Every structure is written in structure tokens, then in C-alpha cells.
Amino acid sequence: MATLLHLDSAVFSEGSTSREVTAAFVTTWREQHPDGKVVYRDLAAEPLPHLDATAVAAGATDTLRGELAAELAAADAVLIGAPMYNFSIPSTLKAWLDQVIIVGHNAGAEGPVAGTPVTVVASRGGSYAPGTPREDFEFVQNYLEKVLSGMLGLEVDFIVPELTLARSKPEMAELIPLADASRTQAFTEAAEKAKTLAARLSA
């Protein structure tokens, strides 16, 4: 029985592209794993405290950090909704990362969570893809790739719905077709990745 750890961090519970795509992933995952387990944390609805000196000193013996580290260690796969806010990740997701990464306990390429597959839905209102004017402002994928892979040894994959603000901003109206195509592609990728991952973990 496979366990999926699902984290959402979008501020809005309705109308969030990252939440909609992660939900689609989970739906397919459940279809493939009807007896599986999904552990869910809504980091916006129930934000974690920022890391403090006491928690750092306690490490894995800290009650909250120990609980979060145990959740991650018990997961066969991880799904993270990470919308771009001010060119970076939500502070609530950063708080989770700071709490869950414990040097000397689970960090490192040979650590206990190394190799666990992680799917990140990195939605954004504009486009920050290579070759676009704001390519240099992309600090979501770049950061999460380094911290999840480099510090925890996780196997990271991204789904990137772009131009999510096109239908709400008149100045982006000409980009609506591209936005719709990106959204459709994100849902397709979510279903495909969930199926592929489920089959891999069942093998």
C-alpha cells in the first residue's frame, strides 16, 4: 500500500491552479491506489510556525520537526503545490522545508528519504520559461530543485502551468490561448505522472 504525502500552499482555496492540478493528480492516484493512503497538509489553512532557535537545537527530537520528518520518511511519493508569489515560493512552504529538513537526520544524498519521487506543481501568473523576458526572475523551480534534490536527495519532477492570470488581466488577453494550452497540458501531465508513478510503486 503506497503512501502519498500531499502539500498545498496556495493562499486561496478556490480558483487556485496549483490546487486544481494537485487535486487532479490525487484523483488519478486514488484510482490507481484505491487502498492506498494520502496524507494531506494544507499549509495555507494550517500554517506551520517559522523555525526558531529552540527547534533548531532540538532537531529531530522537537515534536513538530520529528512529526514532519516522519511523515516525509513514510511517504512513497510526495506531491507539492507551489504557486509563485513575488517570484518565489509561499512562505508557508518555506516554513515546512525549514522544519522538515534536519541536518544529521534526513539531509544528504544518502539520507533516509533519498530517491523518493516528488512532483511539484509550480504554477505562475506569467511565464518565466527560458527565453522569456523574465527568465531571470524564476526562483521557484530553481530553488526547489536545489533544496529538494540537493539537500534531501529527492527525485524531483515539475508540472508548470503558466500564464494563469491571463483571463483576469486585460493586458494579458492575447495570451489566453497559450494560458489555456498550458492549463490543459498541466492536467494531462498530472494524470500521466500519477499513473506512471503509481505503476512504478506497484511493480
User: Which amino acid, residue 161?
Assistant: P
Residues 6+ apart with CB under 8 A from 183: 17, 161, 164
Quick check: 164 and 154 in contact, CB under 8 A? no
Q: Of the candidates 65, 83, 96, 75, which has an alpha carbon nearest to the alpha carbon of residue 29?
A: 75
In the predicted model, what is the mean pLDDT of residues 6-18?
96
**Domains of the chain, first to last:** 3-202 (3.40.50.360)
Question: Above 90 in pLDDT, residue 36?
Answer: no
pLDDT digit string (tens) for 49-64? Answer: 999 999 999 999 999 9
Report pTM: 0.95
Query: Could you give the C-alpha distances from 183 to 15, 23, 106, 115, 186, in angstroms and in order?
Result: 13, 14, 35, 28, 5
In the predicted model, what is the mean pLDDT of residues 172-188?
96
Question: Above 80 in pLDDT, residue 157?
Answer: yes
- Distance separating alpha carbons of residues 27 and 49, to the nearest angstrom: 30
pLDDT of residue 198: 86
Return the percentage of the chain with pLDDT > 90, whole number. 90
- Is residue 185 within a helix (H) or strand (E), and if so which, with residue range? helix 176-202
